[in-house]
Structure 1
Amino acid sequence: MISITEWQKLGVGITGFGIFFILFGILLYFDSVLLAFGNRHKLKGTSFFLGGVVIVLLRWPLLGMFLESYGFFSLFKGFFPMAFGFLGTTFDIPFLSALFRRLQGTSSMV
């Protein structure tokens, strides 16, 4: 018989909890009521994005990628100002500001 240590039992338990919560999250993600509730005000962006995927699969890649891009920007247009605002404040973070100053000084072409 194989002896199992306490650390291995703990690892199996934590892994089991992780797998359970991943599967539970996937089930909640595909719940039709939650999807309809979350995407009701983003129906235009979702339809353009999924329509672009279908058009790409029907071998019209340029048009499909254009529709996907429009759908992507339409879906995440509320997120972009927050992301750009965060990028603007990265110079205030001590470690990153030192890294940016170091990288800025080494960009010469000579």
Structure 2
Amino acid sequence: MWLSDTQKIGVGLTAFGLFFMLMGVMMFFDGGLLAIGNILFLAGLTLVIGTQKTIFFFTRRQKRRGTICFFVGILLIFFKWPFIGMFIEFFGFINLFGDFFPVVIGFLRRLPVIGNILSAPGIAKVVDRLGGQKLPV
């Protein structure tokens, strides 16, 4: 399945958003970088999966707590409380996107260099806990 041009732009925006959030955390919770990262991440997510699916994803009943924490964290970052906002946003992020972790870890394990690192004896136990059970193959 090929990505449309809009989805390609969305992937780029999402990647830049994650990069800016990482840089914001590395720069001791710089509010400006975190705010730009959040805007780019949300815009990219919307372009990748579409407006209707994004609204449906964030308004699902079983993900209500994650959605509230995620957006309250973003608002706190915008209102110059980046340290507290980032932790609340991270909690919401885990609640919203936690179902995708096994898929992401399974994908990362198939990559040449990263897969070998994730399969190392000490690291494999931690990764298995984060990603769920290892499939018997």
Report the TM-score when normalising by structure 1.
0.49
Report the TM-score when normalising by structure 2.
0.40
The structure with the larger Rg is 1
